[in-house]
Amino acid sequence: MQSTSHVVITGTVTSADGATIGYRQLGSGPGLIIVHGGLTTSQDYLPFASVLADKFTVYLPDRRGRGLSDSIGEDWGLDKACEGLAALIKKTGATFLFGHSAGGLLVLETALRTPMAKVAVYDPAVSIQGSIPTAWLASFEAALNKGDVVGATIILLKSVRLYKSHALPVWILRLIIRFIVMRGDVEEHKKVFMTARHDIALVEEAESKCDAYQEITAKVLMLGGAESAPFLLDTMAILHRIIPDSTYVVLPKLDHSGPEDAPAVVAGALKPFFN
């Protein structure tokens, strides 16, 4: 992970059910909350936040079950996930939200529940008529329970097809993923990956209910990578037709990991929108 030249401080806020939501904060200016995607933590988005920190006070919450925040707990669903964001919005006074992938789904759902000035999403994990498959989850978790983080990652890549690398032979994927995983903390990888079940639960709860997003009053910017999976781009085209005050922009040469791999490019699209 790249370092940031900005001072990063940490804080906490209490969600409606009493759970602690931890967050990182950097920069100065209007408040902007960045909601990370699946299988990641807020720390993975520090390089992205750093590019925005010259214009905004950036808040990076850890979603429940990850990093600085409490465990997910019982009765998990969209309402509870959005309550954590609502608590941070209330504490910080932030009027801007950005979400990536599963975080994008939560940003759209939060915009339904909490009035915001502007929100932006990148490849939001909104499933329409089963566009995001979920049948892979059982075998994914079985691999994790055996300690096979590499095997679990291959199952995810081959099943969801978020990246072009899904077409690579399994033996090549295994070599690449093993190298990446072994560079970090294997147990931490496993802990974060186990949150996939809860993200899929949110995706399934919101399945084919996107017509509700016509009630969003915020200005919405939808970003996608030109190399992102076709089903994600198709979904955003549909969302653009549904959400009243929305703009849809496809960024050349980027894929689903745009905010992490090309933070300056994605931030460059966000700055004029949030300004």
**pLDDT, mean of residues 137-154:** 91
**How crowded is residue 68: how many other Cβ atoms within 10 Å of its Cβ?**
18
Q: What is the pLDDT of residue 106?
A: 98
- Residue 4 is inside which H or E element, if any? none
Under the banding of pLDDT at 50, 70 and 90, the label for residue 3 is: low
Least confident stretch, 139-143, 144-148, 247-251: 144-148
Q: How far apart are CA 16 and CA 44, in angstroms?
A: 26
Q: Average pLDDT, whole number, for the chain?
A: 94
Q: How far apart are CA 47 and CA 52, in angstroms?
A: 9
Q: How far apart are CA 238 and CA 204, in angstroms?
A: 18
Sequence letter at residue 46? L
The string of DSSP codes covering 56-110 is SEEEEEPPTTSTTSPP--SS-SHHHHHHHHHHHHHHH---EEEEETHHHHHHHHH
Helix residue spans in the chain (DSSP H): 46-52, 78-92, 102-113, 137-145, 149-160, 170-182, 186-193, 196-205, 230-242, 258-261, 263-274
Question: For residues 161 and 181, which has the higher predicted lDDT (pLDDT)?
Answer: 161
Q: How far apart are CA 47 and CA 53, in angstroms?
A: 10
Under the banding of pLDDT at 50, 70 and 90, the label for residue 73 is: confident
pLDDT tens for 171-190 read 998 898 888 877 778 788 88
3-state secondary structure of 26: strand
Q: At how many degrees (to 10) do helices 196-205 and 78-92 cross?
A: 100
Give Cα separations from 17 to 59, 79, 89 (angstroms).
21, 11, 16
Under the banding of pLDDT at 50, 70 and 90, the label for residue 1 is: very low
In the chain, domain spans = 9-130+207-274, 137-197
Q: What is the pLDDT of residue 232?
A: 96
| Multiple choice CATH, 9-130+207-274, 1.20.1280.290, 3.40.50.1820, 3.40.50.300, 3.40.50.970 | 3.40.50.1820
Evaluate if residue 2 carries a pLDDT over 60. Answer: no
